[in-house]
Amino acid sequence: MPAAEAAAVERTGATLRFAGALLRDDVAGLWRRALPLAAGTRCFDLAAVARVDSAGVALLAELAARSGTDVAVDGTPPGLAELRAAYRLAPALAFD
């Protein structure tokens, strides 16, 4: 099995771009890098995300809440739709 791409985040304008797999083992490190970038974010680009687990969804939901705006989500990595439904999250990752 090939090694998974390391989870990464960068900000371009009002977009946070995520890459790699947003999984439990990587969330703490990703949180430290993403938190200072969250304020004013208007879009999460998940096109380069390989998959997401419940810890990754929790990370995205908390960053969306801290953005101070409604966040559009671009991309649907494996696991996101199912977890968003299970946690009753709106498309913008806020609780319905």
For the chain, the structural domain boundaries read 8-86
Asked if pLDDT for residue 95 goes beyond 60, the answer is yes
Asked if pLDDT for residue 5 goes beyond 80, the answer is no
pLDDT at 26: 92
Homologous superfamily (CATH) of 8-86 is STAS domain (3.30.750.24)
Count of alpha carbons within 13 angstroms of residue 64, beta-carbon side: 20
Please answer whether residues 62 and 34 qualify as being in contact, where contact means their C-beta atoms are separated by less than 8 angstroms: no
Predicted structure pTM score: 0.91
Helices (H), 1-96: 24-34, 54-67, 80-86
Query: What digits encode the pLDDT tens for the residues 54-72?
Result: 999 999 999 999 998 889 9
- Which amino acid is present at 39? A
Please answer whether residues 19 and 7 qualify as being in contact, where contact means their C-beta atoms are separated by less than 8 angstroms: yes
